[in-house]
């Protein structure tokens, strides 16, 4: 029993050390809003505070294709949800980014948005609906999906303000991403 426990603890420590000491490959782009912008893990970080998926889509062609990226992690929809933008519009924008990435020979990786705990969690149902659509889009387009929602669900202490993450929240996202894709 102790041997198994020591191996498990050692494995956990190794994974945490790898995540804390390393960054994602410079060949993996991260497209997003302030959640991406505040994340120290990406080397190619294209997160901009306050952006909707429409704004992300507008800058995507100039920032991602033709820059030698092998993959792009697309995390968008938090600001769309906060602003009450129709989820169909959000999904159309995410779908177009997936298409642009593929056309450029870049593997797209979609991401479910994390829970939003602001205003006593009133956004959680909208986040769940949008994430169900993101899961559907990933399935329809046959792309990988990073599940940041479940990684952060029931962990409001990982958030600084109910939307933005503390380091421990980002660590949960990094582990969820590593279950999806080797980003090193």
pLDDT in tens, 166-181: 999 999 999 999 999 8
Residue 15 covered by a domain: no
Residue 16 covered by a domain: no
Residue 1 DSSP code = -
Query: Which structure tokens are listed for 63?
Result: 């920032």
Query: Which structure tokens are listed for 115?
Result: 């829970």
% of the chain at pLDDT higher than 70: 88
The CATH number assigned to the domain holding 142 equals 3.40.50.1110
Range 157-163 average pLDDT: 96
Task: Give rounded-to-5 percent helix, strand, coil for the chain.
Answer: 55, 15, 30
Residue 46 covered by a domain: yes
Residue 3 covered by a domain: no
Phi, psi of 61 (to 5 degrees): -60, -30
User: Comparing C-alpha atoms, which of 180, 16, 4 is closest to residue 108?
Assistant: 180
> What's the domain range around 126?
23-180
pLDDT digits 0-9 by tens, 133-148: 999 999 999 999 999 9
Residue 18 covered by a domain: no
Q: What pairs with residue 145 in β-bridges?
A: 110
How far apart (Å, rounded) are the C-alpha atoms in residues 46 and 32? Answer: 6
User: Is pLDDT at 82 greater than 50 in this prediction?
Assistant: yes
User: Is pLDDT at 4 greater than 50 in this prediction?
Assistant: no
Number of domains in the chain: 1
User: Is pLDDT at 17 greater than 60 in this prediction?
Assistant: no
Residue 13 covered by a domain: no
pLDDT at 120: 87
């Amino acid at each position: 029993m102790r041997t198994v426990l020591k191996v498990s603890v050692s494995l956990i420590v190794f994974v945490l050390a790898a995540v804390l000491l390393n960054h994602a490959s410079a060949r993996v782009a991260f497209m997003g809003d302030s959640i991406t912008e505040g994340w120290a893990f990406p080397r190619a970080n294209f997160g901009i505070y306050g952006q909707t998926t429409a704004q992300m889509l507008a800058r995507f062609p100039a920032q991602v294709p033709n820059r030698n990226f092998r993959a792009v992690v697309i995390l968008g929809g938090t600001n769309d949800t906060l602003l009450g933008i129709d989820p169909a519009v959000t999904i159309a924008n995410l779908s177009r980014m997936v298409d642009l990435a593929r056309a450029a020979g870049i593997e797209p990786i979609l991401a479910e948005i994390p829970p939003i705990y602001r205003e006593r969690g009133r956004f959680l149902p909208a986040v769940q609906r949008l994430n169900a659509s993101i899961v559907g889009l990933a399935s329809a387009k046959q792309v990988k999906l990073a599940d940041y929602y479940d990684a952060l669900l029931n962990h409001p202490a990982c958030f600084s303000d109910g939307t933005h993450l503390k380091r421990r929240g980002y660590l949960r996202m990094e582990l969820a991403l590593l279950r999806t894709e080797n980003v090193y």
